[in-house]
Chain A
Amino acid sequence: MPVVKQEVLALSGDEAVAYAVKQSDVDVVAAYPITPQTIIVERFSEYVHNGEVDTEFVCVESEHSALTACLAASAMGARTFTASASAGLALMHEILYVTSGCRAPVVMAIVNRALSAPINIHCDHADSMVERDASWIQIYVENSQEAYDSVIQAFKIAEHPHILLPAMVMLDAFFLSHTLERVDVLPDDTVRKFVGARKIPLVRSHEGKLVPFKLDPETPVTMGPLDLYDYYFEHKRQQEEAMQRALQKIKQVHDEFGKICGRRYGNGLIDPYRMEDAEIAAICMGSASGTAKVIVDHIRAKGVKAGLLRLRTFRPFPSQDLIKALENVKAIAVMDRSHSFGAHGGPIFHEVRHVLYDAPTHPHVVNYIYGLGGRDMPQTLIHKIYKNLQKIVETKHVETPVQFIGVRE
């Protein structure tokens, strides 16, 4: 299929998300406003009030009810979307697990914002990192274009009958949410066709009949039952199996969409930049990756074999892709925009270093905690990280495995 002609728009990250939702034939949106996600619900309200979408929009009284209403509507067979950030996502915490446990493929955009206290509206990844174990697919985007592309892909991934897991798409507060960028958008019918109608799989009911997995008076099923030690464990195991299947599905949907729009983000799981012969590499998620690419170009020009591995999908974690992409790298700096207090480093560092334990090579892996509460991550600091990696390769010695960067000492 040839690449479809697209319209060029100037959209902020939030607007790009709202636009993607508008085109994805969503049945129910239930959301509660929170800075910096607000523009998403504002734009979507305009679409609803101007009759541009066939969507019921419920302005609920809390994030807890937002996700609950989406979950219940999803159980009815509807395509559903919500969006949140920071405290709002934290309030949803309980229902995040219920949503994945009910196998409801709700799609949610998260505008990554720091958690209180002290209260702060700016970007870091603490809010969604807290939820990494909630059995939601997690995709972190680098720019507004990718936010648009990823939301559309998320519906198709989450709703696939072999997956049936909710998915969240993360974009950085303000750096993306409120910044106008060029976004190429597909025609409405192309997106609608790509996402397609939601397919409801058949399941065996308690009476032994094969029935659609949704709330339907014709074929009653009980959802969300009390499930004790004799079955709960198997159900949790099934969620993990679906997560593992999602690795392939994310790649596949990303590829299909790439054929239509002509844009690709690595293989959909990891997005390597100049990694082919890299000896040193940073691993990064979100908008700081763009800055890191500039530094890679800069030091490459001086003959340093540097690369950047942008992690796009954090859940499921692309372990094998990561091992492969890092097989020839001697020193790695993992950049975490959140911290696991009391732990040895941030959450991405934990995952990466842990995965590399099984790799044939054992590169040095260090961790930089950066940008908490929206602290800027300028080129100079990223440059410093690569300099340190060069030093580690030269000396074969790591002085400080975990450090905070860009913070007053």
Chain B
Amino acid sequence: MASEWKFAIKDLAEKPELLMPGHRACAGCGPAVAYRQILKATRGPIIATNATGCMEVVTTIYPYTAWKIPYIHTAFENVAANAAGIETALKIMKKKGQLKHDHVDVIAFGGDGGTYDIGIQALSGAAERGHDFLYVLYDNEAYMNTGIQRSGGTPHCAWTTTSPAGRVIPGKPEYKKPIGDIMVAHGIPYVATASPAYWRDLIAKARKGLEVDGPAFLHALAPCPRGWRYDTGRTIEIARLAVETCVFPLWEVVDGEYSLSAPSKVIALKPERKKSVREYLKGQGRFRHLFTPEFEHIIDEIEHIVDKRWKLLLKKCGMA
């Protein structure tokens, strides 16, 4: 089932854009970059569905649409159920001989709010039932559409408007939920993390997710200049730093087997290449309050957590 699909950048350049220019995403929008890359991975006819969120809003302001493929949005917490309904309809249409194509792929996009939090029930249900679809979590680590409120995906001590950097509580007290592992625990055939800085890795993973039979889950880190408080030109740099510091390692799970993806594998093999978490944090305004004498100890704490999670991952990948 593993993908044999090989692609060159030239092939990608020649592939038509499925998300057209002219959408209203902000300058430097990480999710928009991730979407564009993912949609380069399609292998044939495909239907998209999107949870309520930034990307739903910026791509479909009536009477305009950026989508060149069939697309439906219904609500916030139910995008996996949309995918379930679409996939089920395809199944019966095929059975009744009403489908014009041999196969139609289904892709569901949800932000961190729509995935970690309000949408996890529908996602878990759809995964358990085994619908054949690719779920893409574009993780910009807060409710950006409503103006930067904390989510289950917001990292520890990050500033958001509902986890402000206060004098007593410096940002979000809780930790980022291990959503990828939660999806692995569902026993679905494919789970992976990806970063738009490593576009080749991300596109190949999206393709694998589409190709497997059954549910696939792709967790794409998608930096947001507005919410993370950095200059719009630095999105890819930050998406790369997250991997280089092991804050967001790249891995995949095929049929329950964890393995590190090349950009993180390099670090596992040559730990000296691992950059300091401090470097990742310092370029983002959402962590600025940590660079004060009062709260600086938290940076060490975060570094410690990142290390702990990284070691656990290495163990899962048989590289400890």
Residues on A lying within 8 angstroms of B by beta carbon are 27-28, 30, 54-56, 58-62, 64-65, 68-78, 80, 94-95, 98, 102, 206, 215-218, 220-228, 231
List residues of chain A with CB within 8 A of the CB of B81.
Answer: 60, 64-65, 68-69, 72
Closest 4 CB pairs of A and B: A72-B85, A61-B125, A217-B45, A69-B85
User: What separation, in Å, do the CA atoms of A225 and B129 have in the docked complex?
Assistant: 28
- Give the nearest-CB partner of B58 in chain A: A226
List residues of chain A with CB within 8 A of the CB of B45.
Answer: 217
Q: Given A27-B92, A68-B78, A224-B73, answer yes or no on A206-B65 (Cβ-Cβ < 8 Å).
A: yes
Closest CB in chain A relative to B173 CB, distance in Å: 30
Tell whether, in the assembled complex, residue B60 and residue A76 are in contact, meaning their CB atoms are under 8 Å apart.
Answer: no
A-B contact pairs, 26 of them (CB 8 A): A54-B92, A56-B91, A64-B122, A65-B80, A65-B122, A68-B85, A69-B88, A71-B82, A72-B74, A72-B81, A72-B86, A72-B89, A75-B86, A77-B93, A78-B92, A94-B75, A95-B78, A98-B75, A215-B72, A215-B86, A216-B70, A217-B46, A217-B100, A222-B65, A225-B65, A231-B62
How many chain-B residues does the 8 Å CB contact rule pick out?
A: 48
Tell whether, in the assembled complex, residue A206 and residue B74 are in contact, meaning their CB atoms are under 8 Å apart.
Answer: no
List residues of chain A with CB within 8 A of the CB of B86.
Answer: 72-73, 75-76, 215
List residues of chain B with CB within 8 A of the CB of A74.
Answer: 85
Partner of B121, one of A56, A61, A77, A225: A61
User: What separation, in Å, do the CA atoms of A69 and B106 have in the docked complex?
Assistant: 13
Whether a CB of chain A sits under 8 angstroms from the CB of B104 is yes
List residues of chain B with CB within 8 A of the CB of A78.
Answer: 89, 92-93
Closest CB in chain A relative to B12 CB, distance in Å: 20
Residues on B lying within 8 angstroms of A by beta carbon are 45-47, 49, 56-57, 60-65, 67-75, 77-78, 80-86, 88-93, 95-96, 100-101, 104, 121-122, 124-126, 128-129
Tell whether, in the assembled complex, residue A61 and residue B78 are in contact, meaning their CB atoms are under 8 Å apart.
Answer: no
Tell whether, in the assembled complex, residue A69 and residue B84 are in contact, meaning their CB atoms are under 8 Å apart.
Answer: yes
Q: Given A222-B71, A225-B65, answer yes or no on A76-B84 (Cβ-Cβ < 8 Å).
A: no
User: Most chain-B CB neighbours within 10 Å: which of A64, A69, A76, A206?
Assistant: A69
Tell whether, in the assembled complex, residue A68 and residue B122 are in contact, meaning their CB atoms are under 8 Å apart.
Answer: yes
Tell whether, in the assembled complex, residue A225 and residue B84 are in contact, meaning their CB atoms are under 8 Å apart.
Answer: no
User: Most chain-A CB neighbours within 10 Å: which of B65, B67, B91, B129?
Assistant: B65
Tell whether, in the assembled complex, residue B82 and residue A68 are in contact, meaning their CB atoms are under 8 Å apart.
Answer: yes
Partner of B85, one of A28, A59, A61, A64: A28
User: What separation, in Å, do the CA atoms of A178 and B68 have in the docked complex?
Assistant: 49
List residues of chain B with CB within 8 A of the CB of A27.
Answer: 89, 92-93, 96
User: What separation, in Å, do the CA atoms of A224 and B65 have in the docked complex?
Assistant: 11
- Give the nearest-CB partner of B84 in chain A: A69
List residues of chain A with CB within 8 A of the CB of B46.
Answer: 217
Closest CB in chain A relative to B209 CB, distance in Å: 18
Closest CB in chain A relative to B101 CB, distance in Å: 7
Closest CB in chain B relative to A49 CB, distance in Å: 16
User: What separation, in Å, do the CA atoms of A70 and B77 have in the docked complex?
Assistant: 15
List residues of chain B with CB within 8 A of the CB of A225.
Answer: 60-62, 65, 73
List residues of chain B with CB within 8 A of the CB of A28.
Answer: 85, 88-89, 92
Tell whether, in the assembled complex, residue B125 and residue A227 are in contact, meaning their CB atoms are under 8 Å apart.
Answer: no
- Give the nearest-CB partner of A25 in chain B: B96
User: What separation, in Å, do the CA atoms of A228 and B101 have in the docked complex?
Assistant: 35
Tell whether, in the assembled complex, residue A206 and residue B64 are in contact, meaning their CB atoms are under 8 Å apart.
Answer: yes
- Give the nearest-CB partner of B86 in chain A: A72
User: What separation, in Å, do the CA atoms of A237 and B90 have in the docked complex?
Assistant: 32
User: Most chain-B CB neighbours within 10 Å: which of A28, A54, A61, A222?
Assistant: A222
Q: Given A61-B125, A65-B122, answer yes or no on A76-B89 (Cβ-Cβ < 8 Å).
A: yes
Tell whether, in the assembled complex, residue B74 and residue A71 are in contact, meaning their CB atoms are under 8 Å apart.
Answer: yes
Q: Given A65-B78, A95-B74, answer yes or no on A217-B104 (Cβ-Cβ < 8 Å).
A: yes
A65-B80, A228-B62 known; 9 other A-B pairs, CB under 8 Å? Answer: A54-B96, A55-B92, A58-B85, A65-B125, A72-B72, A77-B89, A217-B69, A223-B71, A228-B61
List residues of chain B with CB within 8 A of the CB of A217.
Answer: 45-47, 69-70, 100-101, 104
User: What separation, in Å, do the CA atoms of A54 and B94 have in the docked complex?
Assistant: 12
Closest CB in chain A relative to B62 CB, distance in Å: 4
Q: Given A72-B82, A226-B56, answer yes or no on A59-B129 (Cβ-Cβ < 8 Å).
A: yes
Tell whether, in the assembled complex, residue A70 and residue B67 are in contact, meaning their CB atoms are under 8 Å apart.
Answer: no
List residues of chain B with CB within 8 A of the CB of A223.
Answer: 70-73
User: What separation, in Å, do the CA atoms of A376 and B121 have in the docked complex?
Assistant: 38
Tell whether, in the assembled complex, residue B75 and residue A68 are in contact, meaning their CB atoms are under 8 Å apart.
Answer: yes
List residues of chain A with CB within 8 A of the CB of B71.
Answer: 215, 220-223
User: What separation, in Å, do the CA atoms of A28 and B91 have in the docked complex?
Assistant: 10
Closest CB in chain A relative to B193 CB, distance in Å: 25
User: What separation, in Å, do the CA atoms of A78 and B70 have in the docked complex?
Assistant: 15
Partner of A98, one of B61, B74, B80: B74
Closest CB in chain A relative to B125 CB, distance in Å: 3
Closest CB in chain A relative to B70 CB, distance in Å: 4
- Give the nearest-CB partner of B100 in chain A: A218
Q: Given A216-B70, A217-B69, A217-B101, answer yes or no on A70-B75 (Cβ-Cβ < 8 Å).
A: no
Tell whether, in the assembled complex, residue A226 and residue B57 are in contact, meaning their CB atoms are under 8 Å apart.
Answer: yes
- Give the nearest-CB partner of A59 in chain B: B129
List residues of chain A with CB within 8 A of the CB of B85.
Answer: 28, 30, 58, 68-76, 80
User: What separation, in Å, do the CA atoms of A27 and B63 have in the docked complex?
Assistant: 31
User: What separation, in Å, do the CA atoms of A78 and B47 have in the docked complex?
Assistant: 15
- Give the nearest-CB partner of A66 in chain B: B81
User: What separation, in Å, do the CA atoms of A62 and B124 have in the docked complex?
Assistant: 11
- Give the nearest-CB partner of B60 in chain A: A225
User: What separation, in Å, do the CA atoms of A206 and B68 have in the docked complex?
Assistant: 11
